[in-house]
Amino acid sequence: MKNTSYYKEMKRSFIHTVRKQFVKSKSHFSLFTLSFFTLLLSSCYAPPQHIILDTAESAADSTSQRLSRPYGIGYNLVVNADSLLLLDERPMHWSEGVTEHTDSLWLRKHNQLVIAAMTTIPEDSVDSVWVKVARDQETMGWLHESDLLQATTPEDPISKFIHFFSSSHVLWFLIVMAVAAAIALAHVLRRQRFRMIHLDDIPSIYPTLLTITLTIGAWLYALIQHSYPQMWVFFYFHPTLNPFSQPLLLCAFLCSVWALFLLSLAAIDDIMKMLSGAASFLYLLSLLAVCMVLYLAISLTPLTLSALLGIAYIVFALYRYIRFARPRYLCGRCRQRLQQKGVCPYCGAIND
């Protein structure tokens, strides 16, 4: 009888272990499948519908303008300002600009435009480059290139996101959110202890890898903005989700963006598995606060200092994970990794 009950117990334990490993592998497989299909869909990205204007005006000018600018005749834009003033007539070689006798028309926010012609007026003291844009075949006019670039964005959704994310309003919003998250975490920590990254971390490498990747990506973004602005301007007007069609620096930055997306999914998946609802929310809040502080610290400091700060943080994050958060034990029954001895949270076995 003892042997029979022993074999039954071993059989139940084996079935339980196989079922648990199957569920775990199924979860990881689902995560991998989601990431894989996201990459496939990104490669099938379709650009928005463009305005097509039949015009042959300033064909000679367009050739020279294309050589010095990432946009030219036929490029599509969207008005993001409240209004945009156009001159009805082609500007002549004069420098007084718009007068009360000049015919003009107004475009409104979200109007779609296409560049119809470009010309240069060297005598103009405000801006020597004039651009003709058209909303349709009947609505078109001229304006300074500088006014056009300030009031419009490329029609591509990636360009719109870059413009929004680069806005000073977003920067101040991130600063306020980081301060608010730090105050909220300090208030909760004063009342009760909870798990948070680097201080009382969970046995998962993904949150640490997420913050390290964010540090590297933020520094690459700052490097491109400060040292290679023309490269970033060209990417802004001709964006893509494929990193391997770009120069090496842009390729590294785009790879860090993709890695951030995949690591975010993996980190959220592990956090939700290892912590309860309230504890996982607080941990995610601490992770978000750390990410915002890292991005602001890297973006708002000079390149050399931000590189030193980034290296110091990466060393600190890896040390904290290896020293305190890395699992050091295995459960004797289900073989899951454990951070400390005691009751296994996966199968309930007691490990001494």
Mean pLDDT across 325-348: 70
23 within domain boundaries = no
Q: 286 is in which domain, residue-wise?
A: 158-351
Whole-number pLDDT of residue 16: 53
pLDDT band at 192 (very low <50, low <70, confident <90, very high): low
Each residue's pLDDT tens digit, 138-185: 888 998 888 898 889 998 999 888 888 777 666 777 777 777 777 776
Same structural domain for residues 109 and 170? no
Whole-number pLDDT of residue 1: 47
47 within domain boundaries = no
Mean pLDDT across 233-257: 92
Each residue's pLDDT tens digit, 285-321: 889 888 988 998 898 889 999 999 999 999 999 998 8
Report the chain's C-alpha Rg in angstroms.
28
pLDDT, mean over the chain: 76
306 within domain boundaries = yes
341 within domain boundaries = yes
Each residue's pLDDT tens digit, 92-150: 655 444 444 456 788 888 899 999 988 888 887 788 889 999 988 888 899 888 889 88
11 within domain boundaries = no
Whole-number pLDDT of residue 93: 56
pLDDT band at 207 (very low <50, low <70, confident <90, very high): very high
Same structural domain for residues 290 and 301? yes
pLDDT at 48 over 70: no
Same structural domain for residues 118 and 214? no
30 within domain boundaries = no
Whole-number pLDDT of residue 348: 72
Where does a domain end: 92, 124, 155? 155
In this predicted structure, which of 1-15, 138-152, 165-179, 210-224 has the lowest mean pLDDT?
1-15
pLDDT band at 256 (very low <50, low <70, confident <90, very high): very high
Whole-number pLDDT of residue 28: 46
Q: Number of structural domains, the chain?
A: 2
Same structural domain for residues 130 and 194? no
pLDDT at 45 over 50: no
Mind spelling out the 3-state secondary structure of the chain?
CHHHHHHHHHHHHHHHHHHHHHHHHHHHHHHHHHHHHHHHHHHCCCCCCCCCCCCCCCHHHHHHHHHHCCCCCCCEEEECCCEEEEECCCCCCCCCCCCCCCCEEEEECCCEEEEEEEEECCCCCCCCEEEEEECCCCCEEEEEHHHHHHHEEECCHHHHHHHHHCCHHHHHHHHHHHHHHHHHHHHHHHHCCCCECCCECCCCCHHHHHHHHHHHHHHHHHHHHHHCHHHHHHHHHCCCCCHHHCCHHHHHHHHHHHHHHHHHHHHHHHHHHHCCHHHHHHHHHHHHHHHHHHHHHHHCCCHHHHHHHHHHHHHHHHHHHHHHHCCCEECCCCCCEECCCEECCCCCCEEC
Same structural domain for residues 170 and 145? no
Same structural domain for residues 110 and 175? no
Same structural domain for residues 211 and 290? yes
Same structural domain for residues 175 and 262? yes
Same structural domain for residues 329 and 217? yes
Same structural domain for residues 167 and 244? yes
220 within domain boundaries = yes
pLDDT at 47 over 70: no
Whole-number pLDDT of residue 210: 95
- Report d(CA 268, CA 277) in Å as an integer: 12
**Residue % of the chain over a pLDDT of 70:** 69
Whole-number pLDDT of residue 206: 93
pLDDT band at 10 (very low <50, low <70, confident <90, very high): low
Where does a domain end: 155, 181, 200? 155
pLDDT band at 257 (very low <50, low <70, confident <90, very high): very high
Same structural domain for residues 66 and 189? no
Whole-number pLDDT of residue 191: 67
Whole-number pLDDT of residue 92: 67
Where does a domain end: 105, 129, 155? 155
Same structural domain for residues 131 and 168? no
41 within domain boundaries = no
